[in-house]
Amino acid sequence: MSSATLRYPSSPVRAPARSKPAPRGASRVVVKEPRKVRLPKPDFVVIRRLIWPVLLVLLVAGGLSMGDQVLALLDRPISKIMVRGELSQANQQLVEQLVAPYSGSSFFAADMSQLRAELKQLPWLSEVEVRRVWPDQIRISLEEQLPVARWGEAALLNNSGTAFTPRDREKYQHLPLLQGPQRAQQQVMQQYQMLSQILRPLGFSITRLELR
């Protein structure tokens, strides 16, 4: 017997499809992203110029408020007035009368310049010092005039030739009497001191000296 071999036609193999190249010169479609809304940038220079005055006003206002509170805590009524100095009894009483209104007043509000001016008006005081001592004291240092001679019938002279009029001048009648023109007080005192130094070793003293 003869054999026969049958061959069936195989299906053709198809090549993969190729994409067509884009024609030259053709524009491509590009998708553009949406633009972000641009906000104006803040001007920091202007902001700083506005902030500093506001901060300064706030600091000043806060400082004044705190200062008043601190002052209220520190301020106390004056409870003690100390007077130092060797004064006669009459003069001591007069000084106490002048300083009495300041007792109980505000420590910071009390006018020390006014008190000193009132004490300086007393003619028999040569030195006056007034100062506060926290928390509630006033210290006053006084120095009385040292009379060396009488000047006329109504005044006394200290060792520098300055005239003053004490309240109790009657008790100084034992002092030497010096007289002269009103502008010659220091000149007469200098002559009195010079002559006293010359006569004292001889046992003499001057009871009256007049410049004419």
Is the backbone peptide bond immediately before 135 cis, with ω within 30 degrees of 0?
yes
Q: What is the pTM of this model?
A: 0.57
For Cα atoms 56, 59, 64, give the angle at the middle one, nearest 5 degrees. Answer: 125
> Alpha helices, DSSP H only, in 17-146?
44-74, 89-99, 112-120
For residue range 145-176, list pLDDT tens digits in order.
889 999 998 899 998 899 988 777 788 899 99
> Does pLDDT of 122 surpass 80?
yes
φ and ψ at residue 113, rounded to 5 degrees: -65, -40
Given a cut of 60, whether residue 125 has pLDDT beyond it is yes
Which residues on neighbouring strands pair with residue 140, listed in sequence order?
Answer: 83, 130
Residue 90 has pLDDT above 70, yes or no: yes
Are the CB atoms for 94 and 81 separated by under 8 Å?
no
φ/ψ of 106, rounded to 5, equals: -65, 140
Q: What six digits make up the tokens of 70?
A: 């601190």
